[in-house]
Amino acid sequence: MTLRSFFIFTLLGLYLILFCRLVLKKKILGKHIEFFTMAIFTIFFTETSALICRQYLDKNPTILYNISIIGITYFLFLFYFFKLTENQNLKKLQLGICVVHVINFIVSAFITKDFITVFSETTNFTGIFLLLVSVAVFMIDTLNSEHVLRLRSYYPFYVALSLVLIYTGLIPLLFFGKMVTQPSEAYVFQILMLVVNWIGYILLIAGTFYAKKINTAYEI
């Protein structure tokens, strides 16, 4: 097994473990966790299907990423933070971000040539930008609420940190990865992207255990 295959299969395992933890511990992971859970399931389903398409069916899985990741997963992340935001003015801003993402995706699907076979990088970068803005709005709302007193036990805080870690790490790799011409260099960039995801999802899994520990203490 190559190093790349190792990270791919272990990452699929991390997705599955995280999904199971979210389902089993949903009562202590905060309100509206079902939207984040659906996003993680979508990622797991997409990555598993894409792996099967590439290795066993010899088919291009790009359409899966364009629809399931950019379209559905990013929206579920955005909607999750929208539902969590308590300040009404910030909540309106979060709703606006969700609407912009939907419009951006629909317009891109209609005007982008070969949307089925070519990964929509512009739409992806726009989606990531909107997600990071949404996380920033959520953090402002959280730091001005009672949740600031127990951040270490507040699972959405782990979600926000992990998504910032993953996507701020992926942006430069995706951008500079397009400039790579040598196969060996492309391989390194692929490994780095997998490692960034690996770290982010380990943090998300760890958060489910830590949130359980702290929340139990508060209940007592």
Looking at residue 56, its pLDDT comes to: 84
The band of 101, judged by pLDDT with boundaries at 50, 70 and 90, is very high
pLDDT tens digits for range 132-141: 999 999 999 9
- Please tell me the distance from the alpha carbon of residue 105 to that of residue 168, in angstroms, as a whole number: 21
Distance CA 209, CA 21 (A): 9
Which 3 state secondary structure label does DSSP give 106?
Answer: helix
CA distance 102 to 130: 11
CB 76, CB 90: distance < 8 Å: no
pLDDT in tens, 21-73: 999 999 889 889 999 999 999 999 999 999 999 888 888 888 999 999 999 99
Residue 97 in contact with residue 134, Cβ under 8 Å?
A: yes
Length of the chain: 220
C-alpha–C-alpha distance, residues 56 and 154, integer Å: 41
pLDDT of the residue at 5? 77
State pLDDT tens for residues 73-95.
Answer: 999 999 999 999 999 999 999 99
